[in-house]
Amino acid sequence: MARTIHRASDLHSFIKQFISIACIGPGTVHGQRPGVQAAIRVYLGRIPLGRVPKTQPRFRQWLDRKTEGALCAMKGVARGRPWGLARKAVNLFLRDCLYNHYLRRKYGLARMETWLEIPLDSVVARELKKLEKLKKRTGRAALPMWRGLKRLTPEENARFQDFASWYARKKVGLSATVFLDNYLWPSGR
């Protein structure tokens, strides 16, 4: 049965719920047990966008807390402790909220645009590793071997994010790392 929208705040809530479902497709949770997709979607739909921090250091801490929250939501249904899957899910959700005109405006999400990470998966990691080989950077540690999203650690994620940020700004001229996903993911398909 369809719900009726009575106020603009209802519309924002429905858009947020729609995004929490649409951004976590079967491919995102590939290889996980039944129930993981639903658990992540419910968790993401409950993230209070009005509480996104206003400074980058606080946003980083908040993003880490939301990643841990997604892990807790998957507890009991996920195999192991898939930190990479939790981080990717939160990043996909925040990216899609940022891209939505109504949510971006209502919650002032433009401030987080330059702080967002690229949602990592095997396609993006493979493309970043190709770019790293083509554009060797001096003084930087090489990207780690991609062991899969299930095995991704916060330290490995940070190294991929560091390279993605550098490449997005210096080589492609993008204003934010999150936009690199639009460039890499389709080309890796």
**Tens digits of per-residue pLDDT, 142-186?**
899 999 998 999 999 999 999 999 999 988 899 999 999 988 877
Same domain, 103 and 126: no
Q: 164 is in which domain, residue-wise? A: 122-187
Residues in the chain: 189
Same domain, 148 and 90: no
- CA pair distance 10, 77, nearest whole angstrom: 31
Per the domain annotation, does 147 fall within a domain? yes
Same domain, 147 and 182: yes
Phi-psi region of 179 (alpha: psi -120 to 50; beta: other; left: phi over 0): alpha
Same domain, 46 and 133: no
Of 47, 78, 112, which residue sits at a domain end? 112
Q: What is the arithmetic mean of pLDDT over 25-48?
A: 92
Per the domain annotation, does 92 fall within a domain? yes
Same domain, 133 and 91: no
Same domain, 32 and 80: yes
Same domain, 107 and 28: yes
Of 83, 112, 141, which residue sits at a domain end? 112
Q: What is the reported pTM? A: 0.90
Summary mean pLDDT of the chain: 90
Three-class SS of 114-171:
CCCCCCCCHHHHHHHHHHHHHCCCCCCCCCCCCCCHHHCCHHHHHHHHHHHHHHHHHH
Per the domain annotation, does 59 fall within a domain? yes
